[in-house]
Structure formats: C-alpha cells, structure tokens
Chain A
C-alpha cells in the first residue's frame, strides 16, 4: 500500500491525487483516442453508443447520485435535447457547434422548469411526478406535430464543424472522436462540480436537508440548479443520440428509456462518475451480448437461432435484483472493494466496508 504524503491543500483540490493517478487516466484517454485505428466500424459505433449513454448517465448521476433526487423522467430531457438540436439545425440553420450547447441549455431550462414546482417533493413522490413527465413527453411530441413531425419523426442532418464533415456512417472515426471530446468535457465539468462548494451543497441536500438549511444552503434553489445541470447534460447526450440513431420520433424516448437510465446508474454505482460509465457499458452492450450468446449457443447446439421476446428486459431485471441484493454500491463499489483488497494485501478485512449503524436517526423534521 502506498501512502500519499500531502504537503499542500492543493493535493486535495487537484483533479488527480498524484502523478501516477494522472498517468493512468492519461493512458486511458490515449487508448480511447487511438481506438478508431484498432477497431472496426461496427465496434467503434458500439463504443460511441456506450459513451453517449455514459454522458446521459452522468447527467442523471448529478441529480440522483449527488443530490439524492430520483427522476424517472430523464428520457424526456434526452428528447428535448435531441429535438432542439435537430430543429435548430434543420429549421434555423444553426451550425452544430452552436446547436449542441443551445440544445443542452434548452434541456437545462426544461429541467429547472420541472424542478421549481416539485422542489417540495421527496423520494417516491418526486419519482412519480417525474414519471408523469416521462409519460407526457411522447404525447407532447405528437401534439407539437408542425415542429416535431409527430409520429413520422425527424432525420438528423449531417454534422459539419468548420468545414469538416462528420457522419455516423460515412466517417465513424470522426463521429467517435466528437463524442469522445464531449465526454471528456462533461467529465471535467462533473469533476469540477464535485470539488467545488456547489457539489458539496448537493451532497448536503442529499444527506440531510435539515442541516443543509442550517448551514445556509437554499434547498429549492440548489435542487433547481441540480435539476438544470442534470437535464442539460442529459439533453446534450440526447442531441448526440439523435445523430447516432439518425432518425427518431415520439416513441424513441419512451418511459422504458427513463427507467433504463435510472437502472443504469444504480447498477454502475450511485454517486460516482465511474458508475455512469460502468452502467453505460452494461446497458449499451447488453443487447449485443445477448445476441452473441444466443448465436453461439445455437451454433454449438446446431439449432436455428430463436429470438425470445422480452429476453433483454428479463436479463436486465435479473442483473438489477442481483446488484441490489448483493452489491448495493454497484459495479464501482465492487471495483473499489477489489482494489482495496489488493492495495492492503494481505491485511484486508471482510467487514472493512460495513457501515456503522446510524444512531437515533429520526425524520420528524423533514
């Protein structure tokens, strides 16, 4: 085990603990950058898909993991971002480099608009309120048919940044790099949030609203800011998702997607950036993994390939139940435990991560 010898407060403020920590993430980024030269077009598309889900996951993580406000309506913000981005480009001729952040901004404002009336709701009640938003989204898209083309859907245009054409199928490497760039920016913003006063006030709202108030945190305002940031980042992911799928309509961003988003960050590990990525890998690659396993099994067994309806949802559900029962901290929690075991070898104890019972916790002043 290594012991860090901290000599200044900056050691706790910096993005990376030390040089070695920075090196590992530098290496990860380098691998991510050269990936298009290694992978085929299909695999690269899948990685891009994972990254888009990870961005959406980080958006939701700010709200659920950091601020403790559950949302079952985040597919709506994906939709807002997606539609805003494409409509800005198609109908108003806004270039992609501007339409993407504006789409994020519009989704963020939509988030604030939903946070303001719901700021007094807690837990399951907030979940139900956001669920209603998710249910309404599809209908609203149909009602706004003149702009959104309703059930016929919209086609995402080709992206051009400073004369460079980026097309999902035409040049998947550039498309991938674009998404990677957005991912890195979002990760940096998220990290900055975590190490600044705002991030701490989010955690304060999550853990104890009463004492957050006593510390001078304006609860409704903090929740609205959290909702806004969360929806904004999710909106940007939605815009990218629009370009990824190419075509979308009122049924693309449905309730199932909202639930998938929430399950994704729970499986990945609530409250960590890593969790969003781990969860995204599971959610985005699970359908492919199922197809792969099914084809392999039928090839070995010599039977024809049979698709079992509902297979994906069932496996997803089983994974979730297993995690909630055995590893509530998600994949990231498991990863931390394994890492600690190796770091402390052979001194790791089994009850190391067991939490102390919290004493005398009452909820009477909520």
Chain B
C-alpha cells in the first residue's frame, strides 16, 4: 500500500521562528490520522502547508506520490484535497446551499459564455451539482438550514456546514482543523460518528487536528504528537497519550527535584 500523502522532512520558518521543524509523516489511504499538540505546536501550519497557503523552506509534500509544491493553492482542491478552517471561513452572506455549491467548484465544467446565457447544459450541470450537495445535506442532517444565511446561524451549525462544504468537493483527502472545538458533548459525538462514516462509507482519508483527546482516541487510527514544530511521538492513540515526552510537552517536565519541592 502506498501512502496517500507524504510529508517529507518539511521545515517552515516565519522570520526567526521555526513553525515546523523537519516534520515527516505519511498518511495511508483510508485511515483517520490525528495531529495533536499544545497551542503553537505547528498543527494548523501543517494544514496550511498541505493546502499550499505556505511554501516550505525545506522538504517535500507528495500527494499520491507526486509533489504538490509546484501547484498553486487553488489547484489543491482539484487534486482532491479538501479542508476546513479552525476559525470557520464560510461565505457569510450566502445561504447554506450556496456555500455547499461553492464546494462543487472543482467539478465546474461550464464556461463564462454559457453561464451568462444559462444554456440547457448549465441547467443540467446545476441539477447534477445540486444532487451531489443534497447527498451531503442528508448525510449531515442540514435539511432545516438549506436556505438559511450563514450570518444568522449558530456556531455549531456553521461548523457542520463547513464540514459539508469540504465534503461537497468529493475529496480523497479531508483535512479537518479542530472539527469539535467549541461544540457541546452531543455535537462532538455527532462529529465522531460522521468522521467514522466519512472513513468507512465514503472511503475518504481524514487528517484531523483536534484537542479533544476523547474524540481523537475514539476515531483515529494513528496519532502524531507535535510540540514546538517538532515531532514528539507517532503511534496509536494509546501509545501517544502515554508517551512520556507527550505528557512532558503538555504538563511540563516530570523533574524529580521539582516534585520534591512540591
């Protein structure tokens, strides 16, 4: 089995700050891969590197065996990589339906002239896009919000809409940036089920940044722990959670001398 995504020895610096420092990992087809680590560990930066918002100063990122570093960011969706954002980047002044339809942009086959004339071909295409989007709406239970504007929706629903928009791309690889942050316990459980279904029913590989360790252990096959831009541990959720270096990264050094003082 070849890896779907390979991040090979990638480094990114912002001025003097090394945001990502020689990180390497590979994600197999059909797995749920989680990135964990304290704030500022470089998790979201890795997502932005894979989305090509940033260009690494060193190293290579390969999707299906081919380097994506020669691709501009707007071609990444066309390759089949979809993502969500930590702070929700939806199109606020559009409806849920329109937001999801933007996700279909990768599948656009009509051109400027026939869209302006709205030829029968464009109508046919619109029906096709709508059908694909309706599947996503059914999957995520968004029926009630179809024609609502994003600007008026509660936070939890926006989070789901953003996941839906990424699914409308029909990706092979889905990058979820903190899908459960700010969600209630019930909503987080929904996310867990959805991620499971995305993996098993849709066959989409998932990379997830998440702080909720319950969610991470519930759904992910492998976990990569990062701290200060460096790889700390890689393995099953249990292995990573009990790894001494991970514990150190989260709650500080287990120094016997300090303990004695306390």
Interface residues of A in 173-212 (CB under 8 A from B): 189, 192-193, 195-201, 203-204, 206-208, 210-212
Which residues on the B side are within 8 Å of A198 (C-beta)?
112, 115
A271 touching B93, Cβ below 8 Å: yes
Q: Which of B22-30, B122-130, B197-205, B219-227 contacts A (4 or more CB under 8 A)?
A: B122-130
> Smallest CB–CB gap between A348 and chain B, Å?
15
Mark A197-235 against chain B: 1 for CB-CB distance below 8 A, else 0: 111110110111011111111110000010000000000
A277 to B85, CA, bound (A): 38
A91 CB-CB contact with B under 8 Å: no
A208 to B91, CA, bound (A): 6
B104 touching A197, Cβ below 8 Å: yes
A303 CB-CB contact with B under 8 Å: no
B108 CB-CB contact with A under 8 Å: yes
A355 touching B77, Cβ below 8 Å: no
B98 CB-CB contact with A under 8 Å: yes
Which residues on the A side are within 8 Å of B53 (C-beta)?
210, 213, 365
A200 to B92, CA, bound (A): 12
A218 to B48, CA, bound (A): 17
Q: Which of B146-154, B207-215, B244-252 contacts A (4 or more CB under 8 A)?
A: B146-154
Which residues on the A side are within 8 Å of B89 (C-beta)?
208, 210-211, 214
Mark B91-109 against chain A: 1 for CB-CB distance below 8 A, else 0: 1111001100111111010
Which residues on the A side are within 8 Å of B39 (C-beta)?
none
B118 CB-CB contact with A under 8 Å: yes
A196 touching B105, Cβ below 8 Å: no
Mark B105-139 against chain A: 1 for CB-CB distance below 8 A, else 0: 11010101001111000110111011100100000
A196 touching B74, Cβ below 8 Å: no
Q: Which of B76, B98, B151, B153 contacts A216 (CB 8 A)?
A: B76
A361 CB-CB contact with B under 8 Å: yes
A99 to B101, CA, bound (A): 37
Q: Which of A12, A199, A201, A211 contacts B85 (CB 8 A)?
A: A211
Which residues on the B side are within 8 Å of A199 (C-beta)?
115
B102 touching A361, Cβ below 8 Å: no
A206 to B99, CA, bound (A): 12
By secondary structure, the A interface counts as: helix
B169 touching A216, Cβ below 8 Å: yes
> Smallest CB–CB gap between A87 and chain B, Å?
26
> Which of A189, A199, A215, A355 has most chain B Cβ within 10 Å?
A215
By secondary structure, the B interface counts as: helix
A7 CB-CB contact with B under 8 Å: no
A192 to B97, CA, bound (A): 17
The answer to whether A9 and B126 touch (CB under 8 A), given A193-B116, A200-B102, is yes
Which residues on the A side are within 8 Å of B154 (C-beta)?
356
B73 touching A355, Cβ below 8 Å: no
A216 touching B105, Cβ below 8 Å: yes
A204 to B17, CA, bound (A): 32
Which residues on the B side are within 8 Å of A10 (C-beta)?
123, 127
The answer to whether A216 and B75 touch (CB under 8 A), given A9-B127, A200-B101, is yes
A204 to B106, CA, bound (A): 13
Which residues on the B side are within 8 Å of A210 (C-beta)?
53, 85, 89
> Smallest CB–CB gap between B158 and chain A, Å?
8
Which residues on the A side are within 8 Å of B127 (C-beta)?
9-10, 13
B92 touching A207, Cβ below 8 Å: yes
A193 to B117, CA, bound (A): 9
Closest 10 CB pairs of A and B: A216-B77, A196-B115, A207-B91, A211-B89, A192-B118, A216-B106, A208-B89, A9-B130, A360-B87, A197-B108
Give the interface of B toward A (CB within 8 A).
48, 51, 53, 72-78, 82-83, 85, 87-94, 97-98, 101-106, 108, 110, 112, 115-118, 122-123, 125-127, 129-131, 134, 151-155, 165, 169, 182
Q: A214-B73, A215-B102, A356-B152 are in contact. List 6 more A-B contacts (CB 8 A).
A: A197-B104, A200-B102, A200-B105, A219-B74, A365-B48, A365-B53
A–B pairs, 19, beta carbons within 8 Å: A9-B134, A196-B110, A196-B115, A196-B116, A197-B105, A197-B129, A200-B101, A200-B105, A201-B102, A204-B94, A208-B92, A210-B85, A213-B51, A214-B51, A214-B82, A215-B77, A216-B78, A358-B92, A359-B87
Give the interface of A toward B (CB within 8 A).
9-10, 12-13, 189, 192-193, 195-201, 203-204, 206-208, 210-219, 225, 271, 355-356, 358-362, 365
